[in-house]
Amino acid sequence: MRLALDEAEAAAGGGDVPVGAVVLSASGALLAAGHNEREATGDPTAHAEVLALRRAAAALGEWRLTGCTLVVTLEPCTMCAGALVQSRIDRVVYGARDEKAGAAGSLWDVLRDRRLNHRPEVIAGVCAEAGAEVLSRFFRER
């Protein structure tokens, strides 16, 4: 989570909402990292999770991220939750809950929806206070 929090700080430095994500291999090695880049790129899909998934798939040469774990500072939204399901990632670890747009248990629970063909393990609340503080500080300064 420390690496994801560092990514979140990088997003804030670039004027983007501070969310950071990393993808770890089955052995725990860092495969990829990403942070929000919507403002930087003008791409509405440039969320931390999506960018980290794309980079991990490129690193592995495969779209299936079986055995991998995504660690993200904020609960994924519906777009990101859908991408996580499609990637076949095994585990999602997130920090702060997102009561307004969360899709891993807060507002929706896309990741554990029994109607879908893949349901990753979800671990919530890891370093939640640190992730929430980065976000609060960013919005206070705005």
CA 70 – CA 39 distance, rounded (Å): 23
49 counts as catalytic: yes
Marked catalytic residue, from 37, 49, 99, 129:
49
DSSP string, 10-49: HHHHTTS---EEEEE-TTS-EEEEEE--HHHH--TT--HH
Sheet holding 20-24, edge to edge: 30-35, 20-24, 69-74, 91-96, 121-124
Structure tokens at 135: 């976000």
Catalytic residue list: 49
